[in-house]
Chain A
Amino acid sequence: MLSGAFRERLFEAWIEIRENLGRSSLQAIGVILGVASVLGGFSISDSQRRRADERWMKLGGMDRLMVQQATAVKDGTPTALQNANLGLRNEDALEGGGLDTKSLDGVSQQKRVRARVRSAYADQDRGVTGIDGDYLPLNGYGVEKGRAFSAEELSEGRAVALLGAEAAATFFPTGDPVGQSIRVGDVPVTVVGIFGEKIFRWRDNQGNQFAWRNRVICLPASLVARRMNGDKWQRVDTVSFRIRDLSVMEKFSEGLGSLLRGNHRQQEDFRMDDIAKRVRKRQSQGDVYNIIFMLSGILSLIGGGMVNVNIQMATLKDRVREVGVKMAIGASGREIFKGFMTEALLVTGLGSAVGLLGGVLFSKFITSFLEIPLFMKPASFAWAFFLATAFGFVFALYPAWKASRLSPMEALRYE
């Protein structure tokens, strides 16, 4: 509950603001601009980040560690050891999967090949992906029509296929592709399912960034290895691991690194890509933008604060007598100080409210211009308000202190 004295001060401050609307508005402008700038900046940067996160989620989540082939030989002739190395293999995926079964939520391998793909309607040269393990959930694919591969089909390398939406439309422009047959290279395979269409646009007017994901043709990896692009070492192109608990990721990736180096005769012929780490790095880059926005907000709050001090000092001249009267009837210097502070903080509070509204409108305008959805965090509102209040408080101190130090006698005689 507000104490009586505080309520009175608040009421008096409100009257003062209301009676001097022009002056109070001028005082509030700096606060409004500062708050709008902090909130707007934070929100635009948050919206952009949120959009990027959405993209990662649609790609199958950020909690993945991907291992890909890389060349160990940068310059010169490969050594015998490098030549003898086998590259990323199926056993890497299997042994990696056994590293930490408790935290691991999925493992998948990919083996890619380019092949001539034919149906009754089309004949194209396409990239084909041999998949295994938990490829579909790890990469955010969902089967819209038909079914996914069974464990048996995957392990035995049966002649079955899953098509992306675009691939399905290209090879089967009419009728239901499920149950139909296509030829991949020389191998006839039966389409068992169609993926749902994947769409992602940074901005509404941009093209679909996930168009390539609709072009996929997936076969069991063992089929690809056995009939199209296999070798006796069971090499694969990509291995992915999903770790739900991101705190374990770092440890897992270290363990996996040493395991793979062991398997690869201490050759760094693989590249590990910790997506969460990449996202964290990007987030810390985003923090830099936030700091820049905060600084620009702080600068306008400082500018506004200085204007405020000047206005308050000029106003104090008009109010010296009022201060004298209050002191004569018993107001202490502290009471006068509190009165001036309350007024300055009320101006700051009202200015902040308008600034927050301005920040929302500003963010809405910018995000609609960028054509990304607006995302605002309560913390951004809290930061903007906190900064404005802190600066409002600091800049109000001097005029309030000056007023509180007036001599009652001189203040009463002031003309």
Chain B
Amino acid sequence: MQNIIETRGLEKTFGSNGTAVHALRGIDLTVARGEFVALVGPSGSGKSTLMAIIGCLDSPTGGTYALDGVSVEGLSGTALARTRNEKIGFVFQSYNLLPKASIVRNVELPLLYAGLGRKERRRRALELLEQVGIPEKANVLPAVLSGGQKQRVAIARALANTPALLLADEPTGALDSQTGEEVLGLFKELHRQGNTVVLVTHDPHIAALAERKVELRDGLVVTPEQQAA
């Protein structure tokens, strides 16, 4: 099976010399197509940094990273933007919807950057809102939605260009437990449909829902032996 994520000796250092902070110290991580992986670890373990690099939002200072078989080191800003647009769907803890754009326009945005025509964009966006269960909210502004609904919109937006990888950063962190369960249910369903999901969380209960758990500590992946210890 082809790997969606393949990192070798991934390093990320912030600052330099005396003040350098080594956020990642050599991460080897492989995520196969269709996997549901939970990235767990305490605060400061490097989860968010790893997610940023996996999501092509940031570049590593060392090591290699191939996304969907393509090495991303040395790609230009525009090429990275295209990669994010076509291959990655982000779901953030704070939803990050554009407050002044209607729900359907929020979902349309990645399709716009992908160069789709207006009618096609609208058709696809409505289809996605239908899929996440809020088709009736298409024309309202994000401000009138509940947290759970906003996260559904964010998921619809993440799925817009049928990405190779769905990357979620604490997607239920801002939701009450019941709504959180519903959103997680949606992720499970998406995984069942064949999507590759990487979910960053510090909640062991949520991590337990994933097929595989990758634990980070001090910028390194904790091996099974270390976990057992």
Contacts and interface: CB of A to CB of B under 8 A. Distances in A.
B82 A332 contact: yes
A331 to B, nearest CB: 5
Contact of B98 (A8, A322, A335, A408): A322
Nearest to A335: B113
A328 B55 contact: yes
Interface stretch (A12-20, A21-29, A86-94, A240-248): A12-20
Contacts of A12: 101
A333 B77 contact: yes
B100 interface: yes
A84 interface: no
Interface in A330-346: 330-335
Query: Which of B84, B112, B115, B161 has the largest number of chain A CB atoms within 10 A?
Result: B112
Contacts of A329: 84-85, 90, 109-110, 113, 157-158, 160
A407 B58 contact: yes
A330 B82 contact: yes
A326 B57 contact: no
A134 B13 CA distance: 95
17 contacts: A4-B117, A7-B118, A15-B101, A321-B96, A325-B97, A326-B109, A329-B84, A329-B158, A330-B81, A330-B86, A330-B161, A331-B113, A332-B78, A332-B81, A409-B52, A409-B57, A412-B57
B52 A330 contact: no
Given A4-B112, A4-B116, A329-B85, 4 more contacts: A4-B117, A5-B115, A325-B98, A329-B157
Contacts of B81: 327, 330-333, 335
Query: Which of A4, A8, A322, A328 has the largest number of chain B CB atoms within 10 A?
Result: A328
A123 to B, nearest CB: 88
A176 to B, nearest CB: 79
A372 to B, nearest CB: 49
Given A4-B117, A325-B96, A328-B55, A333 B78 contact: yes
Contacts of B114: 330
Given A328-B55, A330-B84, A412-B57, A8 B112 contact: yes
B112 A334 contact: no
Given A328-B90, A329-B109, A4 B118 contact: yes
Given A15-B100, A409-B57, A328 B77 contact: no
Q: How large is the interface on A (under 10, 10 to 19, 20 to 34, 35 or more residues)?
A: 20 to 34
A102 B174 CA distance: 92
B46 to A, nearest CB: 14
Interface string B76-95: 01100110111000101000
B100 A412 contact: no
Nearest to B113: A330
A326 B118 CA distance: 18
A37 B98 CA distance: 39
B90 to A, nearest CB: 5
A335 B113 CA distance: 8
Interface in A299-327: 321-322, 324-327
Contacts of B117: 4
Given A5-B112, A329-B109, A334-B78, A16 B100 contact: yes
Interface in B155-190: 157-158, 160-161
A7 B119 CA distance: 13
Interface string B35-79: 000000000000000001001011000000000000000000110
Contacts of A7: 118
Interface string A36-71: 000000000000000000000000000000000000
Contacts of B77: 332-333
Contacts of B101: 12, 15
Nearest to A331: B113
Nearest to A5: B112
Interface string A386-401: 0000000000000000
Contact of A330 (B96, B97, B110, B118): B110
Q: What 10 pairs across the A-B complex have the smallest Cβ distances?
A: A330-B85, A332-B81, A330-B113, A409-B58, A409-B57, A325-B96, A329-B110, A332-B78, A408-B57, A409-B52
A224 B160 CA distance: 99
Interface string A253-277: 0000000000000000000000000
A53 to B, nearest CB: 53
Contacts of A4: 112, 116-118, 121
A7 B105 CA distance: 13
Nearest to A327: B81
B113 A19 contact: no
Interface string A162-177: 0000000000000000
Nearest to B84: A330
Contacts of B84: 327-330, 408
A328 B96 CA distance: 10
B191 to A, nearest CB: 21
Contacts of B96: 321, 324-325, 328, 412
A324 B82 CA distance: 15
A130 to B, nearest CB: 81
Contacts of A332: 77-78, 81-82, 113
A8 B114 CA distance: 13
Nearest to A9: B112
